[in-house]
Homo-oligomer: A and B are copies of this chain.
Amino acid sequence: MTTTATSFELHLGDCLTGMKQLPTSSVDLVVTSPPYNLGTSYSTYIDTLDRADYLEWTRCWAAEIRRVLKPEGSFFLNVGAAPSNPLMPHQILLALVPDLFHLQNTFHWIKSITVDTRDGDEISVGHFKPINSQRFVNDCHEFIYHLTPDGRVPLDRRAVGVAYVHKSNITRWGHTGGQDKRCRGNNWFIPYETIQRRSAERPHPATFPVSLAARCIGITGLPPSEMTMLEPFLGIGHAALAARQTGVAKFIGFEIDEQYFAEAEARLNRTNDS
């Protein structure tokens, strides 16, 4: 067993009140997925604010994130659409940009896709969740907005890079340092864990995979051992798990729902033992 100087603070309570007690410019990284206000059945959260109120509330907690974020910090905001409200991801973005943040990058979380291989055949990857509709196609996509204070935050693209297709590129340019890694681009294929495994373990209806948060941590290029990470909507703690896995020094999370909070704590403790 290794001992690391890490601190994980999980707070049961409203993130808006909680964040107000954090010092200005103290956080390197925020990864979060807010309640969508789309009728998704959250446990206790009052999920029925009307549109304008919802966007106003969004601006409120985002403004707190802006305050606690360091000038070179990054805020990864995960937002998906819903058939009942396909505009929400766009409206949320324009509620925050350009007033509070710059949109430095837009990542696309691809859950399922069919691609043509170089051999010429089509392969489907990821879990395809069917919907029965004459007019809607299945939505296999969510946004990950990369928001920063000035739009000029340096990243380490190759930290979450992929192998070159043509290996000649490894020695072709100096920046590779001999490693077979190039930038991954902004399409992030991250399949869901299978339904059965999910339902057995967790009750949260809208959550992102641990590996998605891990990728956000990685691309910042900051050493996790010196990183302070914040998750205002902890949910069942996937950002916390990613922080633990990658060795993030300080993690602060808020969750207003008791059930989710308990689940997040349980999962984090489970990881501690293993």
The answer on a CB contact under 8 Å between B138 and A185 is yes
Q: Chain A 75-106, CB within 8 Å of chain B: the 1/0 string?
A: 00000010000110011011001100001111
**Nearest residue, chain B, Cβ from A91:** B94
Provided the pairs A163-B124, A165-B128 are in contact, do residues A137 and B185 lie with their beta carbons within 8 angstroms?
A: yes
| Chain B positions within 8 Å of A124 at CB level | 162-163, 165
Residue A113 lies at the interface, judged by CB distance under 8 Å to chain B: yes
Contacting residues of chain A (216-239) with chain B, CB-CB under 8 angstroms? 219
A115, CB-defined interface residue at 8 Å: yes
Interface residues on A, range: 35 or more
Contact of A105 among B94, B115, B137 (CB under 8 A): B137
Residues of B within 8 A of A107 (CB): 137
B185 touches A108 (CB 8 A): no
Please state if B115 and A135 are interface contacts (CB–CB under 8 Å). no
Q: By the criterion CB–CB under 8 Å, are A87 and B81 in contact?
A: no
One digit per residue, 1 when the CB lies within 8 angstroms of any chain B CB and 0 when it does not, for chain A 101-133 equals 001111110101111111000111110101100
- Which of B106, B122, B135, B139 has a CB less than 8 Å from the CB of A151? B135
Cβ contact within 8 Å between A112 and B162: no
Contact check: which of B87, B108, B125 meets A118 at CB < 8 Å? B125
Contact, CB under 8 Å: A123 / B117: yes
Neighbouring B residues of A116 by C-beta, 8 Å? 125, 189, 191
Q: Residue A11 at the B interface, CB < 8 A?
A: no
Interfacial chain B residues near A187, Cβ < 8 Å = 110, 112-114, 140-141
**A113–B110 contact, CB under 8 A?**
yes
Given A87-B97, A124-B165, A162-B124 in contact, is the A135-B153 Cβ separation under 8 Å? yes
Question: With A141-B187, A187-B113 in contact, do A108 and B106 touch (Cβ < 8 Å)?
Answer: no
Chain B proximity of A159: nearest CB distance (Å):
11
7 A-B pairs closest in CB distance:
A113-B187, A140-B185, A114-B162, A138-B185, A90-B90, A134-B154, A115-B189
* Cβ contacts A to B, 11 pairs, < 8 Å: A86-B105, A90-B90, A107-B137, A113-B113, A113-B189, A128-B182, A134-B154, A137-B183, A137-B184, A137-B186, A141-B186
